Amino acid sequence: MTTPLLEVRDIAKFYGHRIGCDKVDFDLYPGEVMGIVGESGSGKSTLLNCLAGHLTPDAGQVRFEMRTGEMADTVTMSEPERRMLSRTDWAFVHQHARDGLRMNVSAGGNVGERLMAVGARHYGNIREEAIDWLGRVEISETRVDDRPTAFSGGMQQRLQIARNLVTGPRLVFMDEPTGGLDVSVQARLLDLLRGLVREMGLSAIIVTHDLAVVRLLADRLMVMKDGHVVESGLTDQVLDDPQHAYTQLLVSSVLQV
């Protein structure tokens, strides 16, 4: 019997007396990809940031299975411990690649920096590994010394993914990873992410408002409204047989192509 990689219990975050998110509860198992959908202001990004340690929740626990096998509460752990996690076992893919990249450092440097943060020192090895990862996200070796400012939006996003995955994380948080990209670039990125998730056995939590993206990427789905989870379940079940009024509205509002 496998045990959860992440146990989230009763997470709440308030902005004054306004609810960010409240009473969020779920387990994520190794290799699972969970989508969180909801309109803007539904609390999905707040929740993601609470889970990833960017925001401190006002209540609840986020327990993560460390490599030693013990469950550690990431809300109460020390800042250096949490920072170590976010450099090694966790990755965070931002909606805007510029938030996740160092724009004045070369593409190779962006990938190599994360390796150095976990102790890699040999320049040749770091460069080789960086080039290998750029290849995996379909960025040509000839661009390794270019800065991300010279890259297109889609390339920047792929570079951000390479930078995040190079250290072999076990859990990836993604905030609208395909938002703001044009459709053909989105498709390519989705294909890439699916392949990486399968090959590396990654677990991921993806926040998006795009139902087509979750259908293709996520095993499970959580629907949020006004800071609360109104429905959750198997992705295709929630989308094809939604039970809650809000989910029904959401699904029926999607424009058919």
Residues that bind other proteins (CB under 8 A): 29, 32, 184, 187-188, 190-191, 194, 198, 215-216, 219-220, 233-237, 240-241, 243-245, 248-249, 252
Q: Note the helical H segments in 40-152.
A: 44-51, 79-87, 97-100, 107-117, 123-136
Is the CB of 112 or the CB of 242 nearer to other proteins? 242
Is the CB of 102 or the CB of 198 nearer to other proteins? 198
CB of 34 to other proteins, least distance (A): 9
CB of 192 to other proteins, least distance (A): 10
Is the CB of 95 or the CB of 232 nearer to other proteins? 232
CB of 64 to other proteins, least distance (A): 18
CA angle 240, 208, 7 (to 5 degrees): 90
Q: In residues, how long is the chain?
A: 257
Rounded Cα–Cα distance for residues 173 and 175 (Å): 7
Is the CB of 166 or the CB of 221 nearer to other proteins? 221
Is the CB of 68 or the CB of 253 nearer to other proteins? 253
CA 198 to the chain's CA centroid: 15
Scanning the structure block, which residue is given the tokens 């450099």? 87
Cβ pair 35, 236 in contact under 8 A: no
Strands (E), the chain: 6-15, 18-28, 33-37, 59-65, 71-73, 90-93, 171-175, 203-207, 220-225, 228-234
CB of 223 to other proteins, least distance (A): 13
Cβ pair 212, 130 in contact under 8 A: no
CB of 183 to other proteins, least distance (A): 8
CB of 242 to other proteins, least distance (A): 9
Q: Which of 30, 25, 26 is nearest to 1 (CA)?
A: 30
Is the CB of 9 or the CB of 188 nearer to other proteins? 188
CA-CA-CA-CA torsion for 151, 157, 159, 160, nearest 10 degrees? 130
CB of 188 to other proteins, least distance (A): 6
Is the CB of 107 or the CB of 196 nearer to other proteins? 196
